Amino acid sequence: MINNSINRAVTVGNIIGFLIIGIVIKFILFSCANTTAPPMGGPKDTIPPLLLKTFPDSGTVKFPVRGGRIELQFDEYVALKEEMKRVYLSPATEKRPEIKIRGKSVIVDFPSTLDSSVTYTLNFGKSIVDNNESNQFAEYTFPFSTGITLDSMMCTGTVYNAFNLMPQENVTVAIYKDDSDSVLFKEKPSAISRTDKFGFFILRNIGHGPYKVYAFNDENNNNKYDADNERVAFLDSLIIPQTVIKNTLNEFMLIDEKDTLAALSRTSELNLYLFKEEPNMQYIKECKRHQSRMVYVKFSKQNSEVLSVNFKGIDSSSLKKEFNPARDSLVIWLTDTKSTKIPDTLNLLINYLKSDSLGILAPSTDTFLLPPLKIQKKTESKPSEISLPLKGESKRDDLLEFDITADPAMLEQEGFVLSFPAPLIKFEKDSVTLKYRTPKGDEGTVPYNVSHDTTYSRLLNIKFGERLRTGYEYSLKIKERAFTDIYNHTNDSIVKKASLPYDDRLATLTLDITGVNESYIVEITNITRDKTFRKNKINKDSKLVFPYLQPGKYSIKITQDLNGNGIIDTGSILERRQPEKVRLFKLSDGSTIITIPESSEIIQSIDINTIFNEKN
């Protein structure tokens, strides 16, 4: 009885054991067959490589001028990322250092003979990453000297775009012991550095100076300034470095590219403003036929001097010429539409002062053959407030068509802006009326003034002669043949409507500007300075009112317009002339960003002298 019970128990136990073994085998087989399932692994590696040792030690002296080698040993296999862009030697040699990976080491050889008794810095930037997850090793610089001492001074600074004051990344900053005016073009730099995302740079391990300082966006990585293709900046005076390198300095702390506050907290001793020089040679860059009777000419430099303009077979007295304010472009119209037949291909001869091979301006004549314009298919236009021909009618051949814009936010300042395809020869003011309509439906006439744009003759502003009212609708009514252009084209009747913005959220900014003793351009821009919302020219103390601003963040950009031409004139290296100054208004905390709340009226006082006399 007892044995039977034992046998029964053993049998049951065997069965359970077989079942367990079967399940285990099935699980193993299923796991082996399921090749699409990812293998289970540990946490992702986020630890950057660790530098174990360098050969020789960082800061070594008596480094050989020929056959020297530097080796960085890490705790894991590493790789190089964007080596050509991120790794550089200061001062530069004729040939770039040769860099290779060997196991867990980065090895650097120098194919060029190094100068004797010179301190070098080998800058790796953020080029070293681990081989598996591309975790980035910290920015690293290896200083060494071929002499018996290591230069230990440093200097910091920031490079900005001269015209919008945005920081400039990956710009080469170069210093020179030679203080001649032509050193930038003839000598190699005594030391170089490159700017980071915030335009910030550190010139490391340099001597006591004094130095000339330049910056240029080195497009071809040859450590030389190419005036034709690159932008440049310079300091007006020599510098003598004052700071001794210490690893504890704030400037050497590791900066996360997203941590703007930490980046801006670093001490910046120098400010450089990058600009594009005008070419040294004057010539015609472009000549195009934009309309059948209009030709556009673009010169390489400003202030071009044209002696004569002629078209073969066309009376020169029928030509109308117009330069832009900088005198680097010219528009030519053929105005005679009756007595002269325009040939299909125009033969243009321009006699002007052109640079010869030595760069000397001398009279020269260039000839251009301008073929007829290609006829483009007309696209169906959208309905608008401008009157259109009645159904079944075609447009007349002498119809003058032009654009009318009326930006609600700029209506008080600009009024209605009329843009014509060609200059006008006649304007019947009595044929233009400006009317209003109240919210209750009452109507009346508004006085207006007419002004021509001083820089663009084909722009006409019809401005209001009285204060505008919110909620009113304003209508510009133009009768037929009110305008006649140089081709004797006339307009059809036109009606254009506009009104002030009507939004309780809109704000007003008033700038009370003092200390003005010359011409300035004042602009309200977005914080990246690539969009202008308002613009004014002033030459005396002024109160500028900017209504109808959307709530948000803005910057106030002020340009020192020395010659009053309304444009920002660029600089020159050989003439030691900086571009016209552009500066940002700063709040008491140093911020250049002004936050405008909704439904607000802000009055901001600005002292021009404070802005332009501060250390820049």
Provide the CATH number for the domain around residue 261.
2.60.40.10
CB atoms within 10 A of CB 430: 7
CATH (domain of 542): 2.60.40.1120
377 assigned to some structural domain: no
393 assigned to some structural domain: no
185 assigned to some structural domain: yes
Q: pLDDT (tens digit, 9 = 90+) per residue, 176-215?
A: 998 888 899 888 999 999 999 999 999 999 999 899 999 9
Dihedral sign for Cα atoms in the order 422, 424, 430, 435: positive
Query: Are 157 and 270 in the same domain?
Result: yes
219 assigned to some structural domain: yes
The pLDDT score that the predictor gives to residue 502 is 86
Query: Are 288 and 220 in the same domain?
Result: no
Is pLDDT of 126 > 60? yes
Query: Are 232 and 312 in the same domain?
Result: no
Is pLDDT of 304 > 70? yes
Query: Are 308 and 251 in the same domain?
Result: no
Among candidate residues 476, 498, 520, the one where a domain is terminated: 498
The pLDDT score that the predictor gives to residue 31 is 37
41 assigned to some structural domain: no
CA distance 413 to 605: 21
Query: Are 489 and 512 in the same domain?
Result: no
Is pLDDT of 19 > 50? no
The pLDDT score that the predictor gives to residue 232 is 97
The pLDDT score that the predictor gives to residue 340 is 62
Query: Are 221 and 267 in the same domain?
Result: yes
Among candidate residues 227, 246, 274, the one where a domain is terminated: 274
Query: Are 161 and 268 in the same domain?
Result: yes
The pLDDT score that the predictor gives to residue 3 is 40
| Number of structural domains found in the chain | 5
Both tokens of residue 308? 């004569």
Query: Are 411 and 484 in the same domain?
Result: yes
The DSSP letter of residue 277 is P
List all residues 6 or more positions away from 458 whose beta carbon is below 8 Å from its beta carbon: 419, 420, 421, 422, 423, 424
Query: Are 72 and 165 in the same domain?
Result: no
**How do 88-90 and 140-145 pair as beta strands?**
unpaired
Long-range contacts of 216-225 (CB under 8 A, 24+ apart): 216/171, 216/172, 216/174, 216/274, 217/168, 217/170, 217/171, 217/172, 217/274, 218/171, 218/172, 221/84, 221/85, 223/92, 223/172, 223/174, 223/188, 223/189, 223/192, 224/185, 224/188, 225/184, 225/185, 225/573
396 assigned to some structural domain: no
Q: Say if residue 91 is preceded by a cis peptide, omega within 30 of 0.
A: yes
Is pLDDT of 32 > 70? no
46 assigned to some structural domain: no
Q: pLDDT (tens digit, 9 = 90+) per residue, 386-436?
A: 444 445 567 888 999 999 999 999 999 899 999 999 989 899 999 999 999
The pLDDT score that the predictor gives to residue 43 is 65
Span 53-59, average pLDDT = 96
Is pLDDT of 33 > 50? no
Supply the range of the domain harboring residue 68: 51-145
Among candidate residues 145, 179, 211, the one where a domain is terminated: 145
Ranked by mean pLDDT, the top range of 82-86, 175-179, 255-259 is 175-179
CATH (domain of 466): 2.60.40.1220
DSSP percent split of the chain into helix, strand, coil, nearest 5? 10, 40, 50
The pLDDT score that the predictor gives to residue 27 is 37
Span 483-490, average pLDDT = 92
Whole-model pTM?
0.81
Query: Are 573 and 518 in the same domain?
Result: yes
CA distance 468 to 95: 69
The pLDDT score that the predictor gives to residue 453 is 72
The pLDDT score that the predictor gives to residue 599 is 93
Is pLDDT of 14 > 90? no
**How do 200-206 and 119-125 pair as beta strands?**
unpaired
Q: pLDDT (tens digit, 9 = 90+) per residue, 507-523?
A: 999 999 999 999 999 99
Span 25-48, average pLDDT = 50
Ranking 11-20, 162-171, 293-302, 492-501 by mean pLDDT, the lowest is 11-20
Span 48-76, average pLDDT = 95
Q: HSE of 568 in the Cβ direction (CA atoms, 13 Å)?
A: 21
Measured CA to CA in angstroms, residue 403 lies from 378, 473, 494 at distances of 17, 20, 11
Span 268-281, average pLDDT = 94
